[in-house]
Amino acid sequence: MEKQLYELTLKEAIDVAKAEGPWEIIRAVIDRTALLNPRLNAFVRFEPEHFLKKSRKSEDFKGVLSGAPLSVKDNICIHGCETTCASKILRGHVPPYDATVIRKLGDAGAFFLGQCNMDEFAFGSSCETSAYGAVKNPWDIERVPGGSSGGSAVAVAADMTIAALGSDTGGSIRQPAALCGVVGLKPTYGRVSRYGLIAFGSSFDQIGPITKTVEDSAILMNLISGFDPHDSTSVNQTVPDYTKALARNVKGLRIGLPKEYFVEGIDPEVETKVREAANVLKQLGAQIKTISLPHTAYAVAVYYIVAVAEASSNLGRFDGVQYGLRAPGKNLLEMYFETRNQGFGEEAKRRILLGNFVLSAGYYEAYYRKGQKVRTLIRKDFEEAFKEVDLILTPTSPTPAFKINEKISDPLAMYLSDIFTIPANLVGIPAMSLPCGFTEKGLPIGVQLMAKPFDEEGIFRAAFALEQEIRIYKRKPKL
């Protein structure tokens, strides 16, 4: 059967758009989304008309992307386009500027379809905390797609967009990519500008691509990476052509499997498939060895101190003064309390309270500073490990997609579902999740590859080899 236009990978879409213009592809994707979004709730705003109006004549769709249609998570600012982080408190917030990644992709000829659903303020691993309602997993609509970039992952997995951007603070790109069977990359901290990404944990956040293939991921990374004078934490370092790393050659690559990631609690099917993926790489010439990351068990605790502290401060500005929701109040304090109480959902409140607590007088040392110190210990674990290996291979998530409502009432259980993805954010290293198989029930399983800072190329090299060998990206959800 011939491939539908909405099924195209980014690479294929670019080739078609270059030859015939992007309009047929854009139309196919629009129709597909109109059909599926009511069921999956992947988009909070699907307004290609907005971008047609705003942008652009056909000649705007030149550049590398030639008008290939993309989607972004609802926490990346687009000038003139409501951006809400899936929160009630930001209803009506229309940024007066473009995020740097939006500007870069626009310059490269991207066509933006709309904004993808997410956990409110990226607080969650299931896309159930969105003010716009839960997102459904296309492989089983009774299950969560993962989060917080669940909308982006679903849109890619269900061919409602050619590719998408997400953001990753503790696994928010990789975990939904794993649960939806697509490729998600969290770049090295500082590789991609955060300017225009509505902050969650400022020292953790990175924007990254969610794509159908490893090659598509490399294409987008070429476009969004690099120093930005508007982001003090972006690194002034040459960006390589990541597509050059897509050679099917892993000979001599040293890959470590940390023993702390293959322990009780991990789903047996997940473990089997991830170990198989390691074997495939071994057969292709990589050296596989067991390593140790001794402080792994503390990562979630550190994350829920430091990231949440940063979040509580970042969310202070949502006070009803300049934009978004304002609840009436007799005086200023009343307006503050009412606006924030009505505007934030429960998980946001939980994290704001926790974050303000760990920073508050008398507890800073015992919590926040302790967390920062253990963060150093975890960084040292990885520094040591990377003396022995080039890449670290782990499961992305301990389980495949879980049922909607299964964990939502137990925040701690939800937090622990990010146990394998959080360390990369604590350390700032690049990490990718790519599909490595399916459970018997047909749910996707993701394998995670982590590398040294700024060695995205190492990840691309191994991921491309693995993907081309197991070729499961061709399997699509039945919708």
292 to 321, contacts with other proteins by CB under 8 A?
295, 297-298, 300-302, 304-305, 309-310, 312-313, 316-321
Which residues contact residue 264 at a Cβ distance below 8 angstroms, ignoring those fewer than 6 apart? none
Token pair belonging to 83: 């951006």
Site string for other proteins, 375-394 (x = CB under 8 A): xxx-x---------------
Q: Which of 71, 125, 148, 149 is catalytic?
A: 148
Give min distance, CB of 479 to other proteins, in A: 33
CA distance 203 to 165: 19
Q: Compute CA distances 99 → 104, 123, 180, 347, whole Å.
A: 9, 21, 26, 26
CA distance 296 to 386: 15
Site string for other proteins, 116-155 (x = CB under 8 A): ----------------------------------------
Indicate if 172 belongs to the active site: yes
Among 368, 420, 460, 464, binds other proteins (CB under 8 A): 368
Sheet containing strand 431-438, edge to edge, reads 43-46, 111-116, 69-73, 163-168, 206-211, 183-186, 431-438, 444-451, 391-395, 254-258, 287-291
Can residue 263 be called a binding residue for other proteins (CB under 8 A)?
no
Q: Compute CA distances 398 → 204, 208, 421, 446, whole Å.
A: 21, 22, 10, 10
Q: Which of 11, 73, 273, 452 is catalytic?
A: 73
Token pair belonging to 9: 């990978």
- Angle between helices 10-20 and 23-40 in degrees, nearest 10: 140
Part in contact with other proteins (CB under 8 A); list of ranges 56-64, 155-163, 227-235, 459-467: 227-235
Can residue 335 be called a binding residue for other proteins (CB under 8 A)?
yes
Give min distance, CB of 298 to other proteins, in A: 6
CA distance 174 to 162: 18
Indicate if 452 belongs to the active site: no
Indicate if 130 belongs to the active site: no
Q: Which residue, 83 or 130, has its beta carbon nearer to other proteins? A: 83
Q: Which residue, 46 or 367, has its beta carbon nearer to other proteins? A: 367
Can residue 334 be called a binding residue for other proteins (CB under 8 A)?
yes
Q: Which residues are catalytic?
A: 73, 148, 172
